[in-house]
Amino acid sequence: MKSSEMKNKDLLLYAVTDRKWLKDGVTLADECKKAIDGGVTMIQLREKELGYDDFLAQAKELKTLCQSRGIPFIVNDNVQIAIEVGADGIHVGQEDMHADDVRKLAGKDMILGVSAQNVEEAVTAEKNGADYLGVGAVFPTSSKDDASEVDFETLKEICQSVSIPVVAIGGITEDNIKELKGSGIVGISVISAIFAQEDIKDACERLCANTERILPADSSAYKDIKGAIFDIDGTVIDSMKIWDKAGLMFLEKHGIKGDDDLGKRLFAMTIGDAGKYIQENFLPNMKPEEISAGVNDVIRGFYINDAQPKEGMIELIKTLKEEGVKLTVATSTDRDVFMPCLERLGLDKYFDGIFTCTEVGHSKAEPEIFNQALELMGTSPKETWVFEDGLYSAKTAKSLGMKVAAVYDETSRHDWDEFRLMADAIIRIND
Selected catalytic residue, list 7, 9, 34, 46: 46
Q: Is 424 annotated as a binding residue?
A: no
| CA 142 to each of CA 152, 171, 192, 401: distance values in angstroms, whole numbers, following the listed order | 19, 8, 9, 45
Could you give the CA distance from residue 376 to residue 366 in angstroms, rounded to a whole number? 18
Q: Quick one: CA torsion of 322, 327, 329, 330, rounded to 10 degrees?
A: -150
| Beta carbons within 8 Å of 52's beta carbon, 6+ residues apart | 81
Q: Is 257 annotated as a binding residue?
A: no
Known catalytic membership, residue 7: no
Q: Is 143 annotated as a binding residue?
A: yes
Q: Is 292 annotated as a binding residue?
A: no
Buried b (16+ CB within 10 A) or exposed e, 30-54: ebbbbbbebbbbbbbbbbeebeeee
Could you give the CA distance from residue 74 to residue 81 in angstroms, rounded to a whole number? 10
Closest CA to 387 of 228, 213, 241, 214: 228
Selected catalytic residue, list 9, 34, 115, 326: 115
Could you give the CA distance from residue 60 to residue 81 in angstroms, rounded to a whole number? 9
Q: Which residues pair with 226 in a beta bridge?
A: none
Q: Is 46 annotated as a binding residue?
A: yes
Q: Is 76 annotated as a binding residue?
A: yes
Q: Is 171 annotated as a binding residue?
A: yes
Known catalytic membership, residue 382: no
Q: Is 47 annotated as a binding residue?
A: yes
Q: Is 141 annotated as a binding residue?
A: yes
Selected catalytic residue, list 19, 144, 156, 201: 144
Q: Is 128 annotated as a binding residue?
A: no
Phi, psi of 145 (to 5 degrees): -65, -30
Known catalytic membership, residue 181: no
Of all residues in the chain, what percent are helix, strand and coil, respectively (each to 5)? 50, 15, 35
Q: Is 317 annotated as a binding residue?
A: no
Q: Is 96 annotated as a binding residue?
A: yes
Which residues are annotated as part of the binding site for Mg(2+)? 77, 96
Which residues are annotated as part of the binding site? 44-48, 76-77, 96, 115, 141-144, 171, 191-192
Q: Which residues are known to be catalytic?
A: 46, 115, 144
